[in-house]
Structure 1
Amino acid sequence: MIRRRIALLTFSALACTAAVAPVGPLVGAAHAEAPAVRTQVPGFYRMALGDAEVTALYDGYIDLDTKILSNASPAEIQRLLARMFIAGEKVQTAVNTYLVNVGGKLILIDTGTAKAFGPTLGFVADHLRAAGYTPEQVDVVLLTHLHPDHVNGLLGADGKPLFPNAQVRVAQVESDFWLSADNTAKAPKDFQPFFKMAQAAAAPYQASGQWKPFHDESEVAPGIKPVPAVGHTPGHSAYVVESKGERLLILGDTVHSYAVQFARPEVAIEFDTDKKQAVATRKKLFAWAAREKLAVAGMHLPFPGLGHIRSEGKAFAWVPVEYSPLRDRAK
């Protein structure tokens, strides 16, 4: 018994000594310098919606000048930005698109900018592939409107259709407005390139018969219906995706600045064709989403641009989605 106790005491002492004794080679290894990677993960995020799978695709970002916001003083706009820890005259603004896999069809809502606005944008095709798909697999492209940051991605770097097997659908009013030679000629000179980019993106799909404008609010793809959201442009459309009773409202360009326009929905942006109507549309869609507790997506909300809208009196608040695995993987 005495020998056993001595042995145990000896073992404990050795263990304590080992615990505090420095280990030369390992100390050096702990301080080895690792180079910074300086790259981000691919820009896609998946969300389950009933039987549908929605994948947010990040096209990139553009820095927008806060001077293009109106109906509020510069001081008020800066105060609202500061509440969200945003400072300066330029605000990083995301460009998002959404891929919906439902009913045996692959539907892309908006296409991003291609490389029309510099190197920080134009990554939809890359992130589509990173998400496990190819452009050739897309069956339908739905466009919220024909501004270049939503339509230019219809073409690849070679100028050919990036989605060769897809029907392209947009409101007839929107198509008629932007593809009109008369409207192009009447537009202010610095705005005419917007018309010309829309026409160039649409042209090959028109030639092949794949350009299919819609006239009403009927279903345009499995489980997806357009919602008139005019004001930002004459035929601007939101879309509602529904599967097994769950709904996602895709706002398009109903909102550009989450820091300002939820708290002050009356704030318009320079790109709105009809600012008064754009404000009325924003208030209406925000109120609907808050009342019905709809899931919401926005093309210029911080990526992945998914979440909910909460009502706060006459104002609103953005509630972003929390990161989570898809439900079937969590079971």
Structure 2
Amino acid sequence: TAVSDGTVTIPTDKLLTRITPQALNARLADDALTSQVETSINTYVINTGDRLILVDTGAGPLMGDAGGHLPENLRAAGIDPAQIDTVLLTHVHGDHSGGVQRDGKLAFPNATVRVDQRDVDLWLNPARKNEVEESQRHTFAESERSLRPVIDAGKLGTFRAPTQIMPGIEALPAPGHTPGSVIYKVSRGGETLLLWGDIIHVKAVQMPQPQVAIHFDVNQDGAVATREKTLKM
């Protein structure tokens, strides 16, 4: 079940890379879009019957009124945040991990938060700030703010993809956007669902031209390679 945390409008002409302005405008026009594109901050709930799992947590307080609506939307869907027993993060960027806490208190008090170790090694280590563009360096402070209450509560669990998270859910490595970005492969009854975060930012552009990257990518070459691989899965 997809549950919204909000939406945010991004200036694609300033953020997307490896595409000419003319090609960008043409791709956007194909979907009746302008350069200002409203994008969704989505999360996903998996009910296995005996587990209630949340994939990503939205932005929490980090993006003002644009995000932070996950708790109320979960309740509207009949889900008490305290019922969530596992949170799986696709990566540590603020619009995916920011919702794990509010005012220093755990938003999902009964949940263990799982994330790839490689993202923790980067974003919780300010000494590595020079490894990312200056425009991305705010993520270090945001990650500390978001994850410190989880760490202090002893509720952060890390893994290294590829790995089986639990029966029916596998974490696949998807590096590039961040070093520890993952795709969660959910399998049941012969069917498979892939849940990802930021493999694609602007569908109208990056589906037909997966080589187009974005300034949010820590490693644009890696992000492009992951996107091309994912679209063939």
Aligned counterpart, 1:11:
none
Aligned counterpart, 1:142:
88
Which has the larger displacement, 184-193 or 141-150?
184-193
Q: Give the secondary-structure state (helix, strand or coil) at the position aligned to 1:98.
A: strand
What is the alpha-carbon distance in structure 2 between the residues aligned to residue 275 and residue 181 of structure 1? Answer: 21
**CA offset at residue 192 of structure 1?**
2.9
What is the alpha-carbon distance in structure 2 between the residues aligned to residue 238 and residue 104 of structure 1? Answer: 22
- Change in 2 beyond 3 A, CA 1:162/1:108: same
Residue 284, structure 1, aligned to residue 229, structure 2 = yes
What TM-score, normalized to structure 1?
Answer: 0.67
Tell me which protein shows more strand as a share of its residues: 2
**CA offset at residue 181 of structure 1?**
3.0
What is the alpha-carbon distance in structure 2 between the residues aligned to residue 222 and residue 61 of structure 1? Answer: 32
RMSD over aligned Cα atoms: 1.5
What is the alpha-carbon distance in structure 1 between the residues aligned to residue 32 and residue 150 of structure 2? Answer: 43
Contact 1:144 1:170 survives alignment (8 Å): yes
Aligned counterpart, 2:204:
259
Q: Give the secondary-structure state (helix, strand or coil) at the position aligned to 1:119.
A: helix
Contact 2:99 2:107 survives alignment (8 Å): yes
Q: Give the secondary-structure state (helix, strand or coil) at the position aligned to 2:187.
A: strand
Aligned counterpart, 1:217:
162
What TM-score, normalized to structure 2?
Answer: 0.95
Q: What are the superposed Cα offsets for residues 233-259 of structure 1, whole Å, 9 maximum, x if unpaired?
A: 011111101111111001211000001
Gaps of 5+ in 1: 1-54, 289-331
Aligned counterpart, 2:2:
56
- Larger of the two Rg values belongs to structure: 1
Matched pairs, number: 232
What is the alpha-carbon distance in structure 1 between the residues aligned to residue 138 and residue 17 of structure 2? Answer: 23
What is the alpha-carbon distance in structure 1 between the residues aligned to residue 100 and residue 167 of structure 2? Answer: 21
Aligned counterpart, 1:166:
111
What is the alpha-carbon distance in structure 2 between the residues aligned to residue 96 and residue 123 of structure 1? Answer: 10
Q: Match of 1:256, as an amino acid? A: H
Q: What are the superposed Cα offsets for residues 253-288 of structure 1, whole Å, 9 maximum, x if unpaired?
A: 100000100011110011011111110110101011
Q: Match of 1:197, as an amino acid? A: E
Contact 2:104 2:149 survives alignment (8 Å): no
Q: Give the secondary-structure state (helix, strand or coil) at the position aligned to 2:158.
A: coil
Aligned counterpart, 2:57:
111
Q: Match of 1:61, as an amino acid? A: T
Aligned counterpart, 1:152:
98
Aligned counterpart, 1:270:
215
Q: Match of 2:152, as an amino acid? A: A
